Amino acid sequence: MVEPFDRRMVEVGDGHRLHVEQSGNPQGVPVIVLHGGPGGGCSPFMRRFFDPAHYRAVLFDQRGCGRSEPHASVEANTTQHLIADIERIRRELGIGRAILFGGSWGATLALAYAQAHPEAVLALALRGVFLGRRSELDWFYGGGVARFFPDRWAEFQAPIPEAERGDMIAAYHKRLFGGDRGQESRYALPWLVWENALAGLEISGPGHAPPDYARAFARLENHYFVNGCFLDEGQLLRDRARIAHIPAVIVQGRYDMVCPPASAWELAEGWDRAELRMVPASGHALSEPRIAAELVRVMDGWRDAAREGGRA
């Protein structure tokens, strides 16, 4: 396991302090890793995709989650705040242009940051693309994917009165932000389990989690989704021209039930510098063997190209 050579807390304003770590080669090609969720936090597993002799990997826990403080806070916590945080971290660490590496919500944030600061981005490695659109939220929380997982959907709906099940995001929001910490934790677990159960084709996430982790994950994710991810509808496709010059590789599970391949296809279509790699017999999770192996190939490919005098 690659261990960090630097750990620190970075003050980003609004009362938030972010846990930031660096591993690999301090003089290497910088990679900023953007975790999923929102609210998922980073894990040591995420360091494994980067050759430590070549890359300088920067991982951080976004506002309100992981080891960042205050825990589970949604105050001053929007996509625009997170974009500013990435820029703050990049400048504090003295990084010029960096590769952005993100999956699911991390891919959303990578695209949003790149469109706001294209001059700071060397390349994009994206997985399980989520574009933050209403149609994608409706697929997952409005009954679309329930056609494939009626049993899991029933479990997700069970804590909610039947009269409120027409808007599951709003129904859970009411309970995740009710002010009773015990109730918030109780409703956080079925929110988390619903997503984890669908994340992998051959693996499924845990059916339980520490209450503090579940509460932070559920509150943050729900907060972003009830607010449309703090993006204009269709914004990331609308503004794609801003990053048309940036090379990108999109790794997408063919049977991703959380973020279906249509979004990755739409993102890549007409983007000459983007390569879409559809991974067979795979779902959404970063830990799925074929997904993980393909992401390693992406990063090793860029490493080899750089050593041969190529780009990225």
Catalytic positions, written as ranges: 104, 256, 284
DSSP, res 128: S
Least Cα distance to 101 among 310, 308, 296 occurs for 296
CA distance 33 to 196: 21
Angle of CA points 142, 268, 83, to nearest 5°: 70
Backbone angles phi, psi at 109, to 5 degrees: -65, -40
Strand pairing class (98-103; 29-34):
parallel
Strand pairing class (121-127; 248-253):
parallel
Q: Answer for the pair 37, 215: CB distance below 8 angstroms, yes or no.
A: no
- In the chain the first and final C-alpha atoms are separated, in Å, by 25
Q: Answer for the pair 89, 13: CB distance below 8 angstroms, yes or no.
A: no
